[in-house]
Amino acid sequence: MPVDFAERFEQLDCWLHEHQALWRGRPFMEHRLDWEAQYPQLAAYLRGRSLADAERVHNHPHTVDAPAPFPELAASSRALSEVDIWSEPPPMPDERLGRHVPGRKLEQIGHFVGVALARLPEQPEGWLDWCAGKGHLGRQLALATRLPLTCLEREHSLNEQGRALSESCGVAAQHLDVDVLAVSTWGYLDSRHTAVALHACGQLHMTLLTQAAANGCSQLVLSPCCYNRIDSTCYQPLSQRARHARLQLTRDDLGLPLQEAVTAGQRTLRLRDQSMAWRLAFDLWQREARGVDAYLPTPSRPESALAQGVAGFCRSLAEHHGLALPEPDSWTALEQHGWARLAEVRNLELVPALFRRPLEVWLLLDRALFLQEQGYRVQLGQFCPPTLTPRNFMLIGSRN
């Protein structure tokens, strides 16, 4: 990506604002989307596809050969969300770490460490693992560089386990029981430390950025996650430029980048689909029975709820809302309609899917521009393949 983050941000801001009706629709909740009247051929094409058709391209919506304006949107989406792909090889993992970290997470850590060590412009004095958990990321960095490590984590049990692992690996580490959202913790972000965070959620990584800048942290390496986990209902941009942007985002909007599916087993996917089809069946039932064409928010149900069968599942949702609804003529027919609705939903979701990565890049550029405004040199790229994790973006900031 070019160093001029402002130009890319301006392009994205204009494009996302212009097409917001296409990506702000919620097919799961709305039976008819605002854009369908404007693009009836596209709507008819997507509604005519099967659930299997949608599943095949969920993570690759650009490949769908759909009517206009889909091809033009797909091309713009790819161009506007393009960032550098970093391919520094990960270091050989310490076999002691491999015994305690799941394979996929260990690979993510390896790529993170390889890129951080290759791209940080200054040799760190020590590492600060933000929201450390057991400290797996910081410990890998400490082993690779023989530098001291400080892990900040509020869960005492995780710190206890992390401390034992660090001792067994011969790593000089502090594992501190602290809340990174507490003012008393922010003093650790000083010039001695290079702060790192892998998949820190919204408010956690935004606090890292703002307090690293305020406290003179020399360098930071961050892979954000869960942008919608913020304290306010509306997004408060970090950079001056984003505060004057055309686009104004809600917390619900921030969930769009997270809708890209991660790898899961067939059983998990089957149960997820069954739950969603039954929730949609309930939605059809309650709209008809109440005579009110409006979605009722339905909570996610545990896997055990599926054992009730579709009738018991739907009745429990009605009870949750305090509704006494007349029984449908046929639960079997209602379930079939629920599955048909799920196919429509998944295919209609291919339109907002084109905006997932561009919106995430908009958010990342807000963070990059903020760091630049605070006097940091900033790099933005992908530290690992998206097949390893959809949240594969990395920000690197170092004090000028």
pLDDT for 351-366, tens place per residue?
Answer: 999 999 999 999 999 9
Burial (CB count within 10 angstroms: exposed 0-12, middle 13-18, buried 19+), residue 201: middle
Mean of all residue pLDDT scores within the chain: 95
Q: For residues 390 and 104, is the Cβ–Cβ distance under 8 A?
A: no
Global pTM exceeds 0.85: yes
Task: Give the model's pLDDT for residue 262.
Answer: 64
Cβ within 8 Å of residue 140, ≥6 positions away = 91, 93, 94, 97, 109, 110, 113
**Residues in CB range of 214: below 8 A, 6 or more apart:** 186, 189
Q: Which helix (H) or strand (E) holds 345?
A: helix 331-348
Q: Is 52 helix (H, G, I), strand (E, B) or coil?
A: helix
Radius of gyration over every alpha carbon of the chain, rounded to an integer in angstroms: 23
Looking at residue 158, what is its pLDDT?
97
Q: How many CB atoms lie within 10 A of CB 26?
A: 13
pLDDT on residue 299 = 82
Query: H/E element holding 368?
Result: helix 356-373
Which of these, 138, 133, 214, 209, lies nearest to 171 by C-alpha position?
Answer: 138
Q: Which residues of the chain have pLDDT under 70?
A: 1-3, 98, 261-264
pLDDT of 268: 87
